Amino acid sequence: MKIRLIFCIAAGLIITGCSNIRRKPGRIYVPDMTYSRAYETYAALDSDKFTSDINAAGRKIFYNHLPVTGTLARGEELPFPYAKDAAGDTTNYVASKQMVNPLHPDSVQMKEAERLYLIYCGVCHGPKLDGNGPLYNDGKGPFPSAPANFVGNDKYKAMPEGQMFYSATYGKNLMGSYASQLTRTQRWMIIAYIKLKQTASINGAGSTSDSTHTSTISEAQSKSKKD
């Protein structure tokens, strides 16, 4: 009899407790965090809603494809001290010559730098850094002129690491910014790889001949997706 009574009381408590379960979600305190916007790197943004002009922030959603100013990812290198120049100005671009690559990649890191170069840079500048990537392809690709030839043009052989980093960070001429695709460390790694190849070409090691090698880039891209 006692057992039945205890069972009935327990069942009643369970039923009563379940009847009070909240069926509706609570109010959202920070909607932007609950329903975050997803951005594609090169996707065109609705100019009626978005702006890359910081002066228009507030009236529209400010987004310029760059990490938030002043933020530093865990394990990341110190911020680049030169801001992007205003249109028509080259002050910081020229000053960036003073910046020295803070990395000294070992053989393992250099192999990773080569992989990153093939994925992000080789499609334009070519797997052999000769400016003849698939997008140019001896003039048969969509690019009307060849991208920078890192190993065959003295201008780029003499270009300081800091200026290369500036271009990779903010974009230069037809090349866009890679700040949203590559971390600061990865950008410095790629520049170290380019400088290594330039030194090898100056010393006569390796060929600077035309090289498209689309399959090499595709393999690197496939490996990246698997990783």
Report pLDDT digits (tens) over 175-225. Answer: 999 999 999 999 999 999 999 999 998 887 544 344 444 444 444 444 444
Which residue's entry shows tokens 């010559």?
97
Distance, in Å, from the CA atom of 59 to the CA atom of 13, rounded to the nearest integer, reads 54
Least confident of 98-102, 165-169, 215-219: 215-219
- The contacts found for 16-25 with CB under 8 angstroms, 24 or more apart, are none
Q: Is 41 exposed, middle or buried (0-12, 13-18, 19+ CB in 10 A)?
A: exposed
Which pTM does this prediction carry?
Answer: 0.61
User: Would you state the structure tokens that stand for residue 187, as one six-digit string?
Assistant: 């950008």
User: For 175, phi and psi rounded to 5 degrees?
Assistant: -85, 130
More confident position, 161 or 227: 161
> What pLDDT shows up at residue 156?
95
Whole-number mean pLDDT of the chain?
A: 81
H helices present in 158-227, as ranges:
161-170, 184-202, 214-226
Cα distances from 51 to residues 26, 32, 85, 128, 182, in angstroms, run: 32, 17, 18, 38, 23
Amino acid at 211: S
> What pLDDT shows up at residue 150?
95
Neighbouring C-beta atoms of residue 209, cutoff 10 Å: 10
What are the chain's domains?
Answer: 93-226 (1.10.760)
Instruction: Decide if pLDDT at 12 tops 60.
Output: yes
> What pLDDT shows up at residue 178?
95
User: Would you state the structure tokens that stand for residue 43, as one six-digit string?
Assistant: 């996707």
What DSSP character marks residue 23? -
The pLDDT-based confidence of 23 (bands split at 50, 70, 90) is low
Distance, in Å, from the CA atom of 152 to the CA atom of 25, rounded to the nearest integer, reads 63
More confident position, 13 or 74: 74
Average pLDDT rounded to a whole number, residues 72-89: 84
Distance, in Å, from the CA atom of 65 to the CA atom of 167, rounded to the nearest integer, reads 15
